[in-house]
Amino acid sequence: MNCPYCTNEDTSVLESRGLPEEAGIRRRRECKKCGKRFTTHEKVVNIDLKVIKKSGRVEQYDREKLLKGIKKACYKRKVEEDDMENLVDDIETRLLNRKTIEIKSSDIGKMVLSRLLKLDDLAYMRFASVYLDFADAKEFQEFVAGSKRLTTSH
């Protein structure tokens, strides 16, 4: 992104926020050369990506749906909005670099889980409790016990 004041290409993002009604992302930026700040509004025009659901139904990829699920998992946790946005950005980049435009929802879920594990243990477990669709509390308890071994082995 070029600075509108000095046209320098080296700028940094200070803050990112979603725009109302899923209209895109508002970013506050700062030029590393002149130090002036400015705002950009970004919107992806079209991501041609199809998600194959467990039922076999195919639907258009929806960034906001993915972000909403992550925000639910991170609710009342000390996870910054930027961290959640970056998590989705990272997943989207990986999805767009694939050779196919179709991806299973379970593959997206695995990507989210692996990133949430590094970000926040409880958010990871919350997301897993919905994504992995446990049959009962005992199955979830076994998952939690296994997760504790994962996080302590780092």
| Burial of residue 21 (number of CB atoms within 10 Å: 0-12, 13-18, 19+) | exposed
Q: Are residues 50 and 34 in the same domain?
A: no
Q: Are residues 23 and 55 in the same domain?
A: no
pLDDT band at 67 (very low <50, low <70, confident <90, very high): very high
Judge contact between 149 and 127, C-beta under 8 A: no
Q: What are residue 25's DSSP bridge partners? A: 18, 42
List, for residues 89-100, the tens digit of each pLDDT value: 889 888 888 888
Q: End-to-end distance of the chain based on CA atoms, in angstroms? A: 37
Q: Are residues 25 and 50 in the same domain?
A: no
Domain count, the chain: 2
pLDDT band at 153 (very low <50, low <70, confident <90, very high): very low
Residue 86 lies in a domain: yes
Q: Are residues 60 and 76 in the same domain?
A: yes
Q: Are residues 87 and 55 in the same domain?
A: yes
Query: Which pTM does this prediction carry?
Result: 0.64
Q: 105 versus 146: which is more confidently predicted? A: 105
Token representation of residue 38: 């400015």
User: Domain range holding 58?
Assistant: 45-133
Token representation of residue 129: 């409790």
Residue 56 lies in a domain: yes
| Cα 74 to chain centroid, rounded | 11
